[in-house]
Amino acid sequence: MATTQQPAQQLRLMPMVPSPALALGETVFLGQFGNGPLSVVKGVDRAVLQEALMADQEDRVAQLLDELRVARSLAQTPHALISDLHFVAHDANRIYIGMELEHGDLETLIDLSGGPLPVASARTYTAEVCLALEHLHSYDVVHCDVTPSNVKLGADGHVKLAGLGSCKPLAGRTAHAPPEARVVGLRGDVAHMSPEMLCGFPMSQVSDWWSAGALVYFMVSGRPLFDQPTVQSLVAAIVTFNPASMNWLLVHHVDHVLLSFLHGLLNVDQNARLGVAGAQQVLQHEWLAGVDVGALLRKQVAPPTVPLINLTGNALPPTLPIVDPVLIHARGHLVTHGAPWVDYDTPGGQTLLAPHLAAASNEQAVLA
């Protein structure tokens, strides 16, 4: 990949309070790189990365590398309904991942509404999530964490699928081939994991459609599908799930068409699950039949709601702390400042994510 020289830019950071508790010594900031857009910036402590590797916790580092690979691939062909990667940069202490700033999520929206969403709203959000997953799956990736908190809302009110930190690439098969089941490490919220994930059985992108079913249930019922007090009881409830337990919805505002949609997505047998043939199978279900997906992608359909707070056009105060990182990627393009950078997706597997973070040929991350 060709590289270009760019003048150094400054990254201004404002810690987000309260900052979520994340792995790998991660800190979340509101940030702005140069004159670029406001971003949600995850700062990953490089010393903690090294400690994780020394403690034989390679999976934690592999998850970070997967997040960067997926985000960069998506940045090369941005999708209107997936959170956008703004930049990746680093300094002596941290690696910085700047993502698009969102303005709410479905979990908060439902909590604030105090009950289920209108069925028409749930249908629009569901169709947008399906389109986002279709694009993600085309890169041979499993999202692994399709939850209400990861379905963000953009400034215009349309869905922005986030949570790329849980994504898992399924390496080893050609693009557009049928989904091949593979065993991957557990990532994401247990309450939205599919039975095959929890049992350690082979999984594919079809597992994301189970999570999408749990999401739809939450939207139309106003409560989680699984809400057991312990992890053990939660896992037991998921792997033994009987779709007939959702039939109570019929006495409220859910009709048989929507119920059949939920039954299809929440089929414990992944080989018979709605979505096994891809996103178009889901989008062609009778419940979504009236949705104009082309208009949704062009954002010509009015969203169910528009966030009241929009920070997109704002700039951070000039008095914020400033760091001078080296920019690795800006919207999918590799940028160097005289350092011997190597793209972390080079065919030979030789990766320099930063001068002191490398991936060996066996793809196990090691620190120099």
Q: Which secondary structure element, helix H or strand E, spans residue 21, and what is its range? A: none
pLDDT in the model for residue 45: 81
- What are 155-174's pLDDT values in tens digits? 889 999 998 888 888 865 43
Q: How far is CA 251 from each of CA 120, 169, 255, rounded to the nearest angstrom?
A: 18, 41, 9
pLDDT for the residue 318: 57
Say what the pLDDT of residue 56 is: 62
**pTM of structure:** 0.81
Taking only the tens place, the pLDDT of each residue in 166-225 is 888 886 543 334 344 443 456 678 889 999 988 888 778 999 999 999 999 999 999 999
Q: What is the pLDDT of residues 71-100, one digit of tens each?
A: 878 877 889 999 988 888 877 778 888 888
Domains of the chain: 4-101+313-367 (3.30.200.20), 106-297 (1.10.510.10)
Q: Is the pLDDT of residue 228 over 60?
A: yes
- What's the pLDDT band for 327 if we cut at 50, 70, 90? low
| Structure tokens given for 345 | 């997706």
User: Taking 60 as the threshold, does the pLDDT of residue 137 lie above it?
Assistant: yes
Cβ-based neighbours of 80, under 8 Å, separated by 6 or more: 158, 297, 298, 299
Sheet holding 365-367, edge to edge: 351-354, 357-359, 365-367
Report residue 131 as tokens: 């389109």
Gap between the Cα atoms of 101 and 84, Å rounded: 9
Q: Which two tokens stand for residue 142?
A: 């499993």
pLDDT surpassing 60 at residue 317: no
pLDDT digits (tens, 9 = 90+) for 46-55: 777 777 666 6
